[in-house]
Structure 1
Amino acid sequence: MITKLRTALCALLAAIALLSGTPAHAAEMTLTDAIRALPVAAETNDGYERTAFRHWIDEDRDGCSTRAEVLLEESRTKPVIEANCRVISGTWYSYYDGVTVVDPAKLDIDHMGPLKEAWGSGAKFWTKERRQAYANDLGSARSLVAVTAATNRSKADKDPAQWMPPSADAHCTYIADWVGTKLRWSLSADQPERDALLRIAEGCGHQRVTYEPAA
């Protein structure tokens, strides 16, 4: 009973923060509790267009797009940059498939929660400004991740009931990142998605989820 109340309270605080526009303190819970805190709702993608989410903007006007910002942040060596913040080399670890990449042209920046998935999970009701903020979310390290183009395109707009990273070692991190992103943005999960998350979480030991609701 105490666990259920704690989970419900975390979800309530996140919702209050979303409605007020004021970020709440970071919430932390077990992976299983975090999954159970997700609202469950049928997913409908009617009306979705990728252009509803303007992305790869230069929000802070420093000359670097969101894509470039992620590449700069995630490179494990000092990246080489040309004019107009064009990243031409570095060292990136694609955790989905355990591959190290030095050529950024071979990388995609994955939206942890695909844009179409977000649309069907609640973003269709957002303003265009909030959808833009979601598509360019640099406020959480889990929201956008540099991965090999092949794995990103294999994932496409699938949820964890339909697709998981090819590396089994990535599964627990991946679903924690997935759930944390949905909680951060107050997005729902459909029933097959929730069931798959709970099933995978059974093998994740003491994995925890920490997230801060988006402003």
Structure 2
Amino acid sequence: MVGLAVGALLWSAGCGLGEPSTGSDGAGGEGAKGGAAAGTALAALETSTVKEEGSKDGYGRERFGSAWADVDGNSCGTRDDILKRDLAEVEYKDGDDCVVASGVLKDDPYSGEDVEFRRGASKVDIDHLVSLSDAWKKGASEWEPAKRIAFANDPLNLLAVNASPNRAKGDGDAAKWLPPNKTYRCAYVAGQVAVKKKYELWVTAGERDAMRTILDGCPEEKLPEGDAPTEAPDRFSAK
């Protein structure tokens, strides 16, 4: 499935919380002072568009199409694709090689714990690194439906995680929420930067500063890549 390499990169070891910003613009650490290296998340962040947060008016989950659509045409929904990518010890429903019935999320990126997945009453969520409502307020409200559907199902923006910290996150950006597991914060922020750059979403000044604070502590963190299209096939629709 598209995104296998991306999933592996997002699971790579992150770094701890960087030192607080010291400059008036929020910059701090060697990465910002010396110029970020090409191909890093920090370099990508420094070229991101910074604007005020837009309105949430008009937002609804349906604006991003049906949940977990099979946009890549592999006959499996996006949720099962991500479960297969991120879980260990996967077992399938009724011998099917698509519908994941159970598995184990090893070293959950948000909590650092092992979490068992059981279909129906699971402690595992599939998180949008950049939430749909955050995207809506930072550019997605102006998109065509095909782009919103692609965004909602892009493996670059999806991660199997412990449900408890994920629900505490809500739709918060990096200025409002970071994973309790500090060792994953570099990879988490790098993933958000990658998604926002790919889809040309902006960041707020506070969000940019929060991201920079983390990435200044790991200036060599690479920008994740994903080759999923930014428009869904014509057979999909959204309001």
- Which of the five TM-score ranges fits, normalised by the shorter chain? 0.7 to 0.9
**Greater relative contact order: 1 or 2 (C-alpha under 8 angstroms, separation 6 or more)?**
2
Length-normalised TM-score, structure 1: 0.79
**C-alpha deviation, 1:36, in angstroms:** 0.9
Q: CA 1:60 to 1:208, structure 2 compared with 1: closer, same or farther past 3 Å?
A: closer
Q: RMSD between aligned alpha carbons?
A: 2.2
1:49-68 Cα distance to aligned partner (Å, 9 max, x none): 12211221123454421111
Alignment identity in percent? 35
Match of 1:117 in 2: 134
Q: CA deviation at 1:202?
A: 1.9
In structure 1, distance between residues paired with 2:40 and 2:76:
36
Letter of the 2:105 partner, please give it: W
Other-structure match for 2:145: 128
Give the counterpart of 1:66 among 78, 103, 111. 78
Q: Is the 8 Å Cα contact of residues 176 and 208 (structure 1) preserved in structure 2?
A: yes
Unaligned residue ranges in structure 2 (runs of 5+)? 1-31, 231-239
Any gaps of 5 or more consecutive residues in structure 1?
8-27
Amino acid paired to 1:47: G
- The count of corresponding residues between Structure 1 and Structure 2 is 187
Q: Which has the higher helix share?
A: 1
Aligned to 1:52: 63
Q: 1:61 to 1:29 in 2, by over 3 A?
A: closer
Q: What TM-score comes out, normalization by structure 2 length? A: 0.72
Q: 1:205 to 1:40 in 2, by over 3 A?
A: closer
What is the rounded CA distance, in whole Å, between the counterparts of 1:74 and 1:30 in structure 2? 24
Q: Distance in 1 between matches of 2:211 and 2:219?
A: 14
Task: Tell me the residue number matched to 1:192.
Answer: 206
Does the alignment pair 1:40 with 2:47?
Answer: no
Equivalent residue letter for 2:168: S
What is the CA-CA distance between 1:34 and the residue it aligns to?
1.3
Aligned AA (2:189): I
